Amino acid sequence: MIKHTIKPDIFINLLKFTEYQRYLQNPSLLSKEVGSQLNKSGLIVVIDEIQRAPHLLNEVHSILQDHPQVQFILTGSSARKLRKGGVNLLGGRAITTHLYPLTYHETLSNFDLDDTLRFGSLPTIYLEKNTATKIKLLKAYVNTYLKEEIQQEAMTRNVPAFSLFLELAGFENGHIINFSALSKKIGVHYATVKEYFQILEDTLLGFYLYPYKKSVRKKIVAHPKFYFFDTGIVSCLQKRLYEPITPATPPYGLSFEHWLILETQRMLHYHDVEATLSFFRTTDDIEVDLILEIRGQTWAIEIKSSAEPNPSSFKGLKNFLNDHKVDRVLCVCQTPRKYLVDRIEFLPWQEYLNELTVPF
* DSSP letter string, 97-112: ---PSPPGGGSGGG--
Name the burial class of residue 117, with classes exposed (0-12), middle (13-18) and buried (19+) by CB atoms within 10 angstroms of its CB. Answer: buried
pLDDT at 234 over 90: yes
pLDDT at 307 over 60: yes
Query: Are 45 and 73 spatial neighbours (Cβ–Cβ below 8 Å)?
Result: yes
**pLDDT on residue 306:** 94
pLDDT above 70: percentage of residues in the chain: 91
The Cα 114–Cα 327 span in angstroms is 31
Beta strands in the chain (DSSP E): 10-13, 44-48, 71-75, 206-211, 225-228, 275-281, 287-294, 297-303, 328-333, 339-341, 344-348
Average pLDDT, the chain: 89
pLDDT at 256 over 90: yes
**pLDDT on residue 153:** 62
Could you count the other beta carbons within 10 Å of the beta carbon of residue 155? Answer: 8
Query: Are 344 and 310 spatial neighbours (Cβ–Cβ below 8 Å)?
Result: no
**pLDDT on residue 79:** 65
208 three-class SS? strand
**pLDDT on residue 94:** 79
Looking at 109-123, 206-220, 289-303, which range is the least confident one? 206-220
Where in the chain do CATH 3.40.50.300 domains reside? 2-84
Q: Classify domain 2-84 by CATH number.
A: 3.40.50.300
**pLDDT on residue 85:** 55
**pLDDT on residue 101:** 96
Higher pLDDT, 56 or 159: 56
Mean pLDDT of the region 254-268? 97
Mean pLDDT of the region 130-151? 86
User: Which residues have C-beta within 8 Å of that of residue 7, sequence separation ≥ 6?
Assistant: 44
- β partners of residue 320: none
List, as own/partner pairs, every contact residues 215-221 make where C-beta atoms lie below 8 angstroms and the sequence separation is at least 24, other chains included.
215/280, 215/282, 215/323, 215/324, 216/323, 217/323, 218/282, 218/286, 218/323, 219/282, 219/283, 219/284, 220/280, 220/281, 220/282, 220/283, 221/176, 221/281, 221/282, 221/283
